[in-house]
Amino acid sequence: MSENERRNLNADVKSLNVSLGSLLTARNNLIYQETTEGSYGEDTHAEFESEIRTMYEELYPYRDHEAVGETWEQFALDQIPHVCARRREVKRNSRNQFGIPDTGSEIEIQRAPVDHLILWTRGFKQILKELGLTVPVKHSIDTNDVSHGDLAALLEQRGQTDALESANVD
């Protein structure tokens, strides 16, 4: 990844983290509702789908990046705008209160299947990992002291690898 690409990505990190948090919350809400109530509501489904669209827009500029392209294709992320919240005009033929034929149409929203939304969420998480936006976590920390490795990981994630040379941490 070039230095310019890294700077652009670091500028987007906060937005990506917010979007990922909202996406995972929406996914968890849907799973919780389905688990506890046996099904999920239209609003819960719509919220999850909306968060998928938001994350798609956040990551769209990176779709051709060498670390992302294959995963983007593997999870068929280009389908998202074509499958999510499709609007369809439905013609209705009914009679009004006086028995006169009343024809017209209504717009119906067709939601993406939940299994697609969950799969796309996995794809987004994989892409973020491939872009290096996951923070390495040690399973056990023996001390409260900051190590050179801890600082290196933080500076790497923030795109400030040059600052490591002037750090006072052993």
Mean pLDDT across 115-126? 96
Neighbours of 148 (CB within 10 A): 12
Alpha helices (H) in the chain, listed in sequence order: 3-37, 42-59, 69-74, 80-83, 114-130, 148-158
Residue-level pLDDT at 34: 95
The 8 Å CB, 24+ separation contacts for 114-119 are 114/30, 114/40, 114/45, 114/48, 116/79, 116/83, 117/27, 117/30, 117/48, 117/49, 117/52, 118/27, 119/75
> Average pLDDT, whole number, for the chain?
82
Give the integer Cα–Cα distance in Å for 106 and 55: 29
Residue-level pLDDT at 85: 87
